[in-house]
Amino acid sequence: MAHSARRRDCPELPDFSLLKRLARDQLIYLLEQLPGKKDLFIEADLMSPLDRIANVSTLKQHEVDKLYKVEHKPVVSTSDQLCFLIRPRIQTVKWICDVANADKAAGKFRRYKIIFTPQKFYACEAVLEEQGIFGDVTTDEWAFNLLPLDDDIISLELPEFFRDNFLAGDQRWVRTAGSALHLLHSLYGPFSKIYGIGRCSKMAYESWREQVEEGEQRTHQAEIGKVFLIDRDVDFVTPLCSQVVYEGLVDDIFRIKCGCVEFGPEVTSSDKSMKVMLNSQDKVFNEIRNEHFSNVFGFLSQKARNLQTAYDKRRGMDIKQMKTFVSEELKGLKQEHRLLSLHIGASESIMKKKTKQDFQELLKTEHSLLEGFEIRECISFIEEHINRQVSMIESLRLLCLLSITENGLLPKDFRSLKAQYLQSYGVDHLLTFANLRQLGLLVEQQPGETLTVMESKVGKLVNDKTAGKLTDAFSSLAKKSNFRALSRKLNLVPKSDEEYDLRVPRDMAYIFSGAYVPLSCKLIEQVLDRDGWTGLEEVTRLLNGHEFAVSGSTGGDSKTKSDAQRIILVMFLGGCTFSEISALRFLGRERGYKFIVVTTAITNSSRLLEALLDNHA
Amino acid sequence: MMKSKADEEEYWNSSKFKAFTFDDEDDEFSRLKESKQAVNNIRRLVEEDDDEDDVEKVSWSGEPVGSISWSVRETAASNQKTDREPAFPKINTDTPTISKSNSGYSLSSLFKGEAGKSRGSFQTFNDSLSDSSVRLYAPELRKPKSEYKDYVSDWSPEETVQRMQQGKVVSLEKFRSLQDKLLLLDIAVSAHDGNVITAVLIYLKRTLSKEVLFRELESRQIALRHFIHYLTETRDQRLLLELLRALCRTEDMALLQYKEHLSIADENKRRDFLKSCLSLPFSAEDSAHVQDHYTVLERQIIIEATDRQAERGGKVEIFQKFPRRASILNMPLITTLYYCSFYHYTEPEGTYSSPLNIRQTFKISEKQYFVTALAARAKLKAWSDVDALFTSRNWLGFTRKKSPLSFQRVVDILQKNSAPTQVLQDYVALVDDADVRISLAQKHKCHDIIINTYRDLKDRQMLLGYRGKVERGSVEERKIDELLNNPQIRWKN
């Protein structure tokens, strides 16, 4: 492909399959804690992650009889031992209490075991206590908090991290993030340098550091040298943009779940749907995943031609040659053929969907917003979008993008767009709007700068502690995005009059058709280049601070030259998109780094906004 | 938030990170070997997965065990503790960190002019924090015997929080004075562990009166947000409302109450509930929205009852021809307008289901009304209605086509409702911009428009080019030829 391996000295990635083994063995151990036959109830959103590390036969080997999905309905199981594998959620625990209490009332005796993953919460145990079940149920923790989705992607599979932390302000997952980092540190560290930005990143760092101090120290050859922690709320613009690199597009349209996508009949050109793993093992996918969509067709057709030639070789072969061909090449070719036709099908389907919804025009609006150009036209485009009741999420996405890039909407526009939105999609969305305002995603412009002035005045009078409280008190009011200023400072929007050849990307902007360099990735680039935040003072001020850069005492000079120092772990707290991963892969190729992305979950604009909807009971 | 520059620098200067040093008493070499081995063990075990016998008996969940190979030892390893100096420096996490509160300022003192309430206890905490990490593992040994009280409840607040973070058993019962309780809460907050913060809050909820708890939470925003989230998750609506009322967060209160309607399935009950929401302290703007919500549902109930009957009766043609796919109840306003434009278009303005009446009542913008009516009539292929939507007469009685929506969009909507080319081309022709017009015409195969546009532009070359695209011997080709041969046109090229 056009931009494969720019630098050949990229270091090798560590082997993360270890993490899977670890999680599986821990689970087996926990299952053995409840000897004998048992039925296992699994929380719905744990099924896919579980599938990645174990299979049914693993569970059966450890005397799991029947498997059920947690559905908050009365259980039909006849087993006298019930095991529940759940997230630490109060409503799920309440349901288990109901099950146990119903059994009690019916005079049925069973043994119950709850395995919380990745950890249990006191609030859940409090429910057990309140419902009179504490003691009747044994509880355990399964510290399954790192799932490798690919060679360079590790997910905590905690989509709720985003809402809990950023909207509700609940820090319950901070320690989880710290523990995840701790595990990586003890297996692949010691880290020599940690950079970060964001309140949650700071807290996760602290939690990690405490855990390192609590635990034992090990000295072995580091496989990961540097770490970058970043809060999702540092950059909301990037995940709200339409994705146009292949993997991101596939995620936007078909939704990749835990590294796996389900292609419907329209893609498979049969009457069946097909589940496909999307990772570097898929050779075809691996070559197109980071490509701008406009290149994908060309690539696929070239590939198809090559395949044809390879098949054609068998013409004129003698028997012996044919035999070698069949035994050595045919299987590979068939496999490639299958993958190729899948991705061609997927691309076609993407094209069809995108032309139907005027994708071009949508992209044009997004780019204008990023550029701060023809905002009036953008507003009327969004308005029409709403009027025509085109996708509720899409309209919301555009509204948020407008608000963040413009530092809030003019009061007149805000009122009118909100009113029209509620008319088109339901007044229930009043609650959604309240959430978006709280998060600073969709706000009215504040008259003047009064707030900032007052804040800084008060800030000077008090010490850190109270200032921290103040920030909280103001946070819902004064989360300014400052996107325009940031964009100028960091050169995020390349000049539009220059031609951008998407086949030969010159910077990370290629992931958005050359229109925008993702802020999150740009920060990472800058900090790595400067080995810290020096020279970025204005930028961090615009991002509301919370940046840090710390070195470990073990970071000697001899080590800084080793390969491990060019392996960089980037942890996104609150989710990251496939586009961002593509951008980092590009940056890695340019600079001779290898990035490992650790994220609380893979996100995209729909997931991000759906997490903030409140129009359902 | 703006931290003063001086503060910041002072902090960074003071937070020199400590170098990796071995404790003096330690045999450095054996230590190093030990940890190396520990690491190698993990590697080896993970990679080889051999099931050799366990040497240590370790606890996973409190009870001693001795099975399943390395994963147990993995946990055991993580439970072991070596007294090493921290390799990474502490950073300022910007939340109220107690250890830095020497000045004694607190938010409440700032706003209410009170002196810091729990100042005294902060100081004692500072003293004990310094060696807490050491004490954690053998606290009972380090305390003088005279201080020995009850074994379980003898932990200091910071020890308690630390133990809770590690999932160990603690008892909170000894925190009885308000000062102790709040200190515990503040320390939990400074540890950034939401799980522990919530645990302490559950205890405070149980042991403090609401009034006192609410009052104290007001100046502790982080704890407050945890508490609100906890009440939301446990669905303790009543207490949550009381809390919001005590905090004077009236709008949040109103929204929270309004949210309850979502769990009411019966439409009449829902309507009545919404009616009761009208008096809630919403912002003026939201208040109007909620009023609309109520009014729409009220109407939907009436329309639904009438239409269901009409449909069952089988006498109304439109319901026979286009059976309703779903009930109109709880649909958004615009969907309702669409529905009414579909089934009740011609009704007089006085009826509830008349689109014009809906437009009036809910102050729907002209553009919005237009888009919706257009889509509905196009769906029915009622082209004369579509035509009428655009037609306006000026004072001389001439008719002309006008649209609040760009004709480009109009074409789009019509096309999505599979309008025939004859209909489409009328509207394509009205697109102002010649380029857009041509590209639309090409997309929808409106040859006449393309030909006419090129003629108007006097673009002979383009017309010649287009001749190659139309069918041989077709009407279009003949028309192009006529134009090309017309000597009266002064071509520009």
pLDDT value at residue A335? 81
Nearest Cα to B2, choosing from A451, A458, A465, A447?
A458
CB distance from B58 to chain A under 8 Å?
A: no
**What would the mean pLDDT of B12-26 be, rounded to a whole number?**
36
Confidence of residue B397 (pLDDT cuts 50, 70, 90): low
- Considering A80-84, A454-458, B129-133, the range whose residues carry the highest mean pLDDT is A80-84
pLDDT value at residue B21? 31
Lowest-pLDDT range of A130-144, A398-412, B334-348, B442-456:
B442-456
User: Three-state DSSP class for A367?
Assistant: helix
pLDDT tens string B179-194: 989 999 999 999 999 9
What b-and-e string marks burial along B326-354, b requiring 16 or more CB atoms within 10 Å of the CB?
eebebbbbbbbbbbbbbbbbeeeeeebbb
pLDDT value at residue A339? 83
Cα angle vertex A583, ends A577, A584, to 5°? 95
Contacts of B489 (CB under 8 A, 6+ apart): B455, B458, B483
Specify the pTM: 0.80
Cα angle vertex B91, ends B85, B92, to 5°? 140
**Out of B136, B202, B368, closest to residue A126 by CB:** B202
pLDDT at B92 over 50: yes
CA dist B424 and B401 (Å) reads 14
**Stronger pLDDT, A36 or A460, i.e. the higher one:** A36
Percent of chain B past pLDDT 90, that is, above it, reads 31
Least Cα separation, residue A182 to chain B (angstroms): 10
- Contact yes or no for B82 and A388 at CB 8 A: no
CA dist A13 and A224 (Å) reads 9
Confidence of residue A617 (pLDDT cuts 50, 70, 90): low
A145-235+502-554+561-616 CATH choice from 3.40.190.10, 3.30.420.40, 3.90.79.10, 3.40.50.1910: 3.40.50.1910
Nearest Cα to A122, choosing from B184, B203, B211, B235?
B203
* DSSP code string of A105-137: HTT---EEEEEESS---HHHHHHHHHTT-BTTE
Among left, alpha and beta (phi > 0; psi -120 to 50; other), residue B407 is alpha
pLDDT tens string A550-607: 887 654 444 445 778 888 999 999 999 999 999 999 999 988 899 999 999 999 999 9
Q: What mean pLDDT value characterizes chain B? A: 73
Least Cα separation, residue A61 to chain B (angstroms): 14
CA dist B448 and B451 (Å) reads 5
Contacts of B454 (CB under 8 A, 6+ apart): B438, B462, B463, B466
Which alpha helices (DSSP H) does A388-504 contain, by range?
A: 392-405, 411-425, 430-439, 450-461, 464-475, 483-490
- Contact yes or no for B88 and A388 at CB 8 A: no
pLDDT at B51 over 90: no
Q: Could you say which residues from 214 to 233 on chain B have a Cβ atom under 8 Å away from some Cβ of chain A?
A: 219-222, 225-226, 228-230, 232-233
User: What is the pairing mode between strands A137-141 and A111-116?
Assistant: parallel
B72's tokens: 């147990």
Give the CB-side neighbour count of residue A79, counting CA atoms within 13 A.
23
Domain locations along chain A:
16-142, 145-235+502-554+561-616, 248-357, 358-445
CA-to-CA separations, A390 to A190, A385, A387, in angstroms, rounded: 50, 6, 8
Nearest Cα to A259, choosing from A238, A275, A283, A243?
A275
B290's tokens: 């909620």
**What would the mean pLDDT of B19-27 be, rounded to a whole number?**
35
CB distance from B35 to chain A under 8 Å?
A: yes
pLDDT value at residue A616? 76
CA dist B297 and B329 (Å) reads 7
Residues of A in contact with B95 (CB under 8 A): 199, 203, 468
User: Three-state DSSP class for A226?
Assistant: strand
* DSSP code string of B282-330: --HHHHHHHHHHHHHHHHHHHHHHHHHHHHHHT--HHHHHS--SS--TT
Residue B162 CA, distance from chain mean position: 33
Q: Which residue type, as a one-letter code, is found at position A410? A: L
What is the CATH number that goes with domain A358-445? 1.25.40.850
**What would the mean pLDDT of A284-289 be, rounded to a whole number?**
88
pLDDT at A456 over 90: no
Best B20, B170, B185, B192 member to test A by mutation, with max A CBs in 10 Å, is B192
pLDDT value at residue A349? 86
pLDDT at B54 over 80: no
Q: Could you say which residues from 310 to 369 on chain A have a Cβ atom under 8 Å away from some Cβ of chain B?
A: 358
Please return the burial class of B486, using the count of CB atoms within 10 Å of its CB with bins 0-12, 13-18 and 19+: exposed
Same topology, domains A16-142 and A145-235+502-554+561-616? Answer is yes
pLDDT tens string A485-513: 899 899 898 876 677 888 888 889 999 98
pLDDT at A69 over 70: yes
Least Cα separation, residue B182 to chain A (angstroms): 16
Which alpha helices (DSSP H) does B322-459 contain, by range?
A: 333-343, 355-361, 366-379, 383-390, 407-416, 421-428, 434-443, 447-457
CB atoms within 10 A of CB B169: 8
B325's tokens: 């796919």
**Out of B92, B133, B194, closest to residue A464 by CB:** B92
**Stronger pLDDT, A417 or A343, i.e. the higher one:** A417
pLDDT at B16 over 70: no
pLDDT tens string A303-354: 888 888 877 777 777 787 777 777 777 777 788 888 888 888 888 888 888 8
What is this model's ipTM?
0.88
pLDDT at B59 over 50: no
Phi, psi (5° rounding) for residue A230?
Answer: -145, 135
CA dist A475 and A478 (Å) reads 5
CA dist A13 and B466 (Å) reads 57
Give the CB-side neighbour count of residue B131, counting CA atoms within 13 A.
6
pLDDT value at residue B93? 66
**Stronger pLDDT, B184 or B9, i.e. the higher one:** B184
pLDDT value at residue B123? 35
A304's tokens: 């198809």
**Out of A90, A169, A426, closest to residue B225 by CB:** A169
**What would the mean pLDDT of B59-80 be, rounded to a whole number?**
34
pLDDT tens string A522-558: 999 999 999 889 989 889 988 888 999 888 765 444 4
CA dist A29 and B59 (Å) reads 12
CB atoms within 10 A of CB A394: 18
B372's tokens: 């919706």
- Report the topology of domain A16-142: Rossmann fold (3.40.50)
pLDDT at B255 over 70: yes
The H-or-E segment that residue A38 falls in is strand A38-42
What is the CATH number that goes with domain A248-357? 3.90.830.10
What b-and-e string marks burial along A75-84, b requiring 16 or more CB atoms within 10 Å of the CB?
bebebebbbb
**What would the mean pLDDT of B55-81 be, rounded to a whole number?**
34
Specify the residue for token string 């192009």: B480
- What angle do helix axes A411-425 and B333-343 make, rounded to 10 degrees? 50
Q: What mean pLDDT value characterizes chain A? A: 85
CA dist A543 and A522 (Å) reads 13
Q: Could you say which residues from 239 to 298 on chain A have a Cβ atom under 8 Å away from some Cβ of chain B?
A: none
Least Cα separation, residue B41 to chain A (angstroms): 11
Best B88, B161, B330 member to test A by mutation, with max A CBs in 10 Å, is B88
CA dist A432 and B131 (Å) reads 47
Partnered with residue A617 across adjacent β-strands are none
Best A356, A391, A427 member to test B by mutation, with max B CBs in 10 Å, is A427
DSSP state, residue A326: I
Phi, psi (5° rounding) for residue B89?
Answer: -80, 155
